[in-house]
Chain A
Amino acid sequence: MRIASMGYARGLYIVMKRDLDRFWKYKWWLAGLITMNLTDLFIFALIFNNIVNRAYINNYLLFLAPGVTAIATFASAFSIGREVGVEVRRGYTQYLLSLPLTRMQLSMGRILGGAVRGLIYQIPFILLLIILHGKLPTPAEAGVIVITSVMLTISMSSLSIVISTAVRSFDLQATMRSFTYFVLFFFSNVFYPDALISRYFPHILYTMISNNPVSIATSIYRGIFTYNASIEDPLILLLKLASWCIVFLIMGSIFYLRNLTH
């Protein structure tokens, strides 16, 4: 990384740019990720559509697509956590500390780098949503989509850094990442409608599931793309997602800074 003395924003940009450049090195990894997410849509959703109860969902493919779009950010934004984990184990952080960057620039740069990766990965899925639903979002809706995606990817990127710096063992990091993925996935409304969750689960569990950041983002996408989708006030949903984003961002920076200090 070649850095001269610079302003705060430029320092952030350079750290982000470095992470983005490294992202393109994983072309095959990206292709694998896309295949996995598309498999969920075009195999799981298509076949499941034959057995789903029409009283709840009319078209399971269209129902699942916004959820897959939301969860897709997880894997790509989480790639930054994987790299930070490798750096922690190899002591690479000493090199990063020797650079003319503040610790906060490094920390924020890494989180935003992960978020940008998530956003880039998510764009084809947003386009797929537009094609599948045959609906072009209005400028206001497009703005909401962008804000939602940015906040979701920052949350996921920060969360991945928390996990990767909380423990040093590679096996444990990988296991915790998978565990987090499954918890976010299963405790969300990606696969099932809110009405079903509230009908069969205790209210406390329903509240937990519907307020998971992946559920909130999924609800927002569904609200925009699905006609007659009954969702909470979009502003409330955005505020909830912003709260998650701030909490994860603070946690991510604290954990990354702790990692740089020790």
Chain B
Amino acid sequence: MIIWDVRKVARYKVFLLMRFAWFVVQVSVFAVLISYLVAIRPSTASGISYYEYYLFGAYTALLFSISMFRGYEIAEEFEEGIIEYQLSLPVRRRILAIGRTIGGGIASFIYTLPMMLFILIMLRISNPLLIAIAMISALAFSIGIVGLAINIVFGLKSGDKTDILFGVVDALLVRLSTIFYPLPFLSTIPAYFYAALVNPLSSLADFLRALFLFEDLKAFLYLSQEQMISYIAGLAIGLSVLAMLFIERKAEGGGWR
């Protein structure tokens, strides 16, 4: 089941190229100009600017969007009847569900790997241990988000409603997180602050920042690295299990409806 999803990555070469192209535009135009526009300077010692802060936010937002899209695609496959074929395989439903969630997560992570490498090269980061930790955390996050997407799709059972909710969830979660702005600057609006604090996107973006730029950004990090990684792992496990339960109970031959 995992291979089923991972193999599809190779089919989406143009998709991947375009995603990479707009990521490059995002970090070479938008991020540069926004960086000059903001007044905050995380550290004076190392010359780190808002630009470096934003890079990991941009990566997290991209990974989130692609993972949501993958989850939606998996559900669409079910709607198109592929579930009939998959249910006929000598595989238990539980394995099918967990395989598709993990497979979707791995595929999303592979899609965004060029972007992560691009950022690491830009920041001249070469520590293999830290890079491995970053990759594992991004993979766990991606699996969790694919699980979330599958839960939404099976919960709503409507293509149109899912489309809309995905758009709204994407807009709200990205804006109500620390993707664009450090947590302390959200404290002026308490509702936004607490929403950003429990937002999984904040956890991954801040964890990656802490992993590579801790000394420069520690003033902006509210939770400890242990708390953030526990949250990401909990999210991945919790949402995958939930997706598994949904698929076990709701997927039937004749369409997932």
Contact = CB atoms under 8 A, between A and B. Distances in A.
Size bracket of the A interface = 35 or more
A4 interface: no
Nearest to B188: A50
B191 to A, nearest CB: 10
Interface string B7-43: 0000010110011011001100110111011111000
Given A29-B163, A47-B181, A179 B18 contact: yes
B33 A191 contact: yes
Contacts of A172: 14-15
A51 B19 contact: no
A186 B18 contact: no
Interface stretch (B96-104, B120-128, B172-180, B245-253): B172-180
Given A32-B168, A200-B36, A44 B180 contact: yes
A24 interface: no
Interface residues of B, number: 40
**DSSP majority for the A interface?**
helix
B222 interface: no
Given A31-B164, A32-B164, A32-B167, A51 B25 contact: no
Contacts of B22: 178-179, 182-183, 186
Nearest to B176: A43
Contacts of B36: 53, 192, 196, 199-200
A185 B50 CA distance: 20
Contacts of A187: 25, 29
A176 B18 contact: yes
B165 interface: yes
A39 B175 contact: yes
Q: Which 4 A-B pairs have the closest CB atoms?
A: A32-B164, A36-B171, A43-B175, A186-B30
20 contacts: A29-B160, A32-B164, A35-B168, A40-B171, A43-B192, A44-B180, A47-B175, A47-B180, A48-B181, A50-B181, A50-B185, A51-B38, A51-B182, A182-B22, A186-B22, A186-B25, A186-B29, A192-B36, A196-B36, A205-B29
